[in-house]
Amino acid sequence: MPVITYRKALNDALAEELARDENVVIIGEEVAQYNGAYKVTEELWKRFGDKRVVDAPISEAGFIGLGIGASMLGLRPVVELMFWSFAFVAYDQIVNNAGCIRYMSGGLVNLPLVIRGPANGGTTHSHTPESSLANHPGVRVVCPATAYDAKGLMKTAIRDNDPVFVMENTLLYGETWEVPEEEYLIPLGVADVKREGRDLSLIAHGRAVMTSLKAAKILAAEHGIKAEVVDLRSIRPLDEEAILQSVRKTHRAVLVDENKPFCAVSAQIAAMIQEKAFDDLDAPVQRVCALDAPAIYSPPLEKQQLPTAERVVEKVLSIA
């Protein structure tokens, strides 16, 4: 099975969907001749041309609005944001328009739109908006943690008839995984157990899954604790049953989340576990989140802002 980067998996997904469906188009800043800020759209302009891969000016409100209108008329736009932090200048288009059109039209108007790009990463533009976006009914939010998941979720997102927001991670683009050559899709709203365990559940999404897997290895090697790692993959829809099944199996849960702790994805999951699996818990649900501060530029502190395996291990040992 070929080993490719997270970036290449996304590129392959886009290329396959552009070739499969002539209604798929890519819109964004520098996505054409420049191949995208993070080279996710590399070679696509040369292969598919100006009408399928369209450079946009520096106006997120403008080109996201363009994508919404185009999707209402039958196209399937994939809109690239250079950073998900820039989505805030187009929040009206994203939430009030994209998120509401199907409902406001009584189901008569589909809105097959994908907005994708890097989130997190530890720079000034490092917001993690998946929790705020998922708060709004009518949209779907996915956070792939591996190249395999990135490709499968992207292809499914493009084929979906509702707006899907794909939150990638700058720190994952160069990482490699095995990805099959044959076509596959990953359904939205289906979590994945990345590591089986019996003593405790580590529940995460995006790059925090990698942090959780590293912590699970340390816990097993140094403390004899077998942690199960559940990768949410999709934030909305959320695979509640997979979460509850794991917690009922292990009776303990630590939620690992690169969101800031206030109103984070992990806060929603903690509430859900408490409501639906309280009697199965042998210890309180715990969270390991990003430090609740703007992006830290002091080099010694910067690495500590996002969850680390060491912080996860410390939290696990506090309830083991």
Catalytic residues: 60, 125
| 166: phi then psi, degrees, rounded to nearest 5 | -100, 115
Q: Which one, of 237, 259, 236, lies nearest residue 306 by Cα?
A: 259
Helix and strand counts by DSSP (H, E) for the chain: 12, 14
**Amino acid symbol at 119:** A
Q: What are phi and psi of 16, to 5 degrees?
A: -65, -40
Q: Where does the chain have alpha helices with state H?
A: 6-20, 44-48, 60-72, 91, 101-104, 130-134, 147-159, 208-223, 240-250, 265-277, 299-305, 309-319
What are the C-alpha distances in Å from 129 to residues 125, 207, 222, 260, 290? 11, 14, 35, 10, 13
What is the pairing mode between strands 227-231 and 200-204?
parallel
What does each C-alpha distance from 72 to 24, 30, 162, 163 come to in angstroms?
13, 24, 11, 11
Between the CA of residue 239 and those of 135, 149, 166, 276, what are the distances in Å?
A: 16, 15, 17, 13
Q: Dmax over Cα atoms in the chain, in whole Å?
A: 58
